[in-house]
Amino acid sequence: MLALEGGDGSSQPGTFDAVVDQAVGVIIAVGRLTSAEAWDILRETSMRTDIKLHHVAELLVEWGRSGALCADIRIELDRQLAQRRPDPRV
């Protein structure tokens, strides 16, 4: 499980960690990335869309279940994944 810190420096218990871990897993599966790369994508997507990380995580987990993802997160996720894909010309 990822060790995340809250605003006061304490670890967030229970559901927060579980949802974030599941979202990282979705990103790993979709992008064929390491857990560190997936965590960076989750964090960057949250920052660039100005949507709280936990909410982005919830939406990504639901996307894994339903196939539906709101456009702003989908666009940013695609952009983040494209930046991390190896150059096919190599």
Those residues of the chain that have pLDDT short of 70 are 1-15, 86-90
Rg over alpha carbons for the chain, rounded to the nearest Å, is: 13
Model pLDDT, residue 85: 75
Model pLDDT, residue 76: 97
| Sequence-distant (≥ 6) Cβ neighbours of residue 74 within 8 angstroms | none
Model pLDDT, residue 84: 86
Per the DSSP assignment, residues forming a β-bridge with 5 are 11
Closest to 73 (Cα-Cα) out of 33, 32, 30, 35: 30
